[in-house]
Amino acid sequence: MRDFRSRFGFHTTPFTREIAVRERYRNEIFDEVLAALVGVLEERMSAVLIAPSGVGKTTLLRALVEDHLPEVRYRVHYTKVTGLSKRDMCRELALAAGVAPAGTFPSLVRNLQERFLTLSDTDGLRPVLVLDDAHELRPEVMGILRVLTNFEMDSRLVLSILLVGQTPLRELLRRTALADVSGRLAHYAVLRPLSRSETGSYVEHRSTISGATVVPFDPKALEAIYEIGRGNLRATDHLALKSLEVAHREDADVVDHNHVVSARKVLWP
């Protein structure tokens, strides 16, 4: 039996996890959030990006870094928060600000302060620390970010921090102990799942970039993908790919509603 890819005219596997920045799907919200974040970093301020899992935060961050933060102007340090201890966080802060990663917190603070004193606007480099999956930050580690409050001049900061995480990040920031940290954040960005029509365009887009000349999903299949995946990009990817496999196994050239329903049963029994 031939491969499902050749049946539907794909030259690569569609709906995979990795997606090149230039091939990503864009809509109004993605563009707005991107522009807002660029604006905040341009001003050397910090920001938060919150959205449920699978809605496109990490992908958007990659677009931000690759397309909008040129190396001649920004020094970006990206880290996933999972399991970050206080000591790790000090190291990440130091790396991001371009100071020696001191062993202890007080010496890090000293190093950052020195850096602050010597850093001039003419040097032009804007350090940015991106903390992805920040909802997993332990409160005491988050508290370290308070160090930033000491480095303000002309109400701008030396180091911009981008906190990116799932919905519980909002609660984490709300805790009074972190009021100093929240107060540093100039912008709260939120991503939402795709709408019904966007989900259709998304599936079409991801089919096309993988080589399909005819979108191999009929309208009812697209409806079902939206009803089940609710515009979550990761869920949509899994469902679309599995539906293609199911349709192929049944020797169908177009994915219909039943194929999507069968795919759901396999994926989420």
Ligand X SMILES: Nc1ncnc2c1ncn2[C@@H]1O[C@H](COP(=O)(O)OP(=O)(O)OP(=O)(O)O)[C@@H](O)[C@H]1O
Among 9, 36, 42, 58, binds Mg ion (CB under 5 A): 58
| Element holding 230 (H helix, E strand) | none
Strand partners, 164: 49, 132
| Element holding 160 (H helix, E strand) | strand 160-165
Work out how close the CB of 58 gets to ligand X at its nearest, in angstroms, rounded to a whole number.
Answer: 3
Choose the binding region for Mg ion from 32-40, 51-59, 134-142, 205-213 (rule: CB under 5 A): 51-59
**Structure tokens belonging to residue 189:** 């960005």
| Element holding 245 (H helix, E strand) | helix 233-249
The one of Mg ion, ligand X, none whose footprint includes residue 59, by CB under 5 to 8 A per kind, is: ligand X
Choose the binding region for ligand X from 5-13, 23-31, 91-99, 248-256 (rule: CB under 6 A): 23-31
Choose the binding region for ligand X from 48-56, 87-95, 121-129, 247-255 (rule: CB under 6 A): 48-56
Q: Which residue is nearest to ligand X (CB)?
A: 56
Work out how close the CB of 64 gets to ligand X at its nearest, in angstroms, rounded to a whole number.
Answer: 12
**Structure tokens belonging to residue 100:** 């020696």
d(CA 246, CA 259): 6
Among 103, 25, 41, CA closest to 77: 41
DSSP strand pairing (185-190 vs 126-132):
unpaired
Residue 166 touching Mg ion (CB under 5 A): no
Interacting residues toward Mg ion by CB under 5 A = 57-58
Residues that bind ligand X (CB under 6 A): 17, 19, 24-25, 30, 51, 53-59, 166, 233-234, 237
